[in-house]
């Protein structure tokens, strides 16, 4: 499968949708480039993608401004 695309002044290209789909290149997929002197190769990294939940927890960690124990938080969720 081949496609001709233009490189922008910022060095960006758009990978055609059918190629992205067949290669499994989903949004936020990290890719790596290699160059053997003649051919540039792009492939998904082997690094495991962080899940949405793990990303949210990482972003929120340490942002709480009220010191409550787990028991106190659970008691608040059970009131009703």
Determine the Cα–Cα distance for residues 80 and 74; give it in Å rounded to an integer.
12
Does residue 14 carry a pLDDT above 90? yes
pLDDT of residue 48: 67
Does residue 71 carry a pLDDT above 80? yes
pLDDT of residue 38: 96
Tokens 């608040």 sit on residue: 76
Cβ neighbours of 63 (radius 10 Å): 6
| pTM of structure | 0.51
pLDDT tens for 18-62 read: 999 998 888 888 889 999 999 999 988 876 667 888 888 888 888
């Amino acid at each position: 499968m081949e496609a001709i695309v233009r490189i922008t002044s910022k060095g960006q290209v758009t990978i055609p949708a059918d190629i992205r789909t067949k290669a499994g290149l989903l949004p936020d997929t990290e890719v790596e480039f290699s160059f053997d002197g003649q051919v540039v190769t792009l492939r998904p990294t082997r690094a495991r993608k962080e899940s949405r939940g793990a990303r949210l927890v990482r972003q929120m960690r340490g942002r709480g401004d009220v010191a409550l124990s787990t028991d106190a938080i659970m008691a608040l969720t059970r009131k009703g």
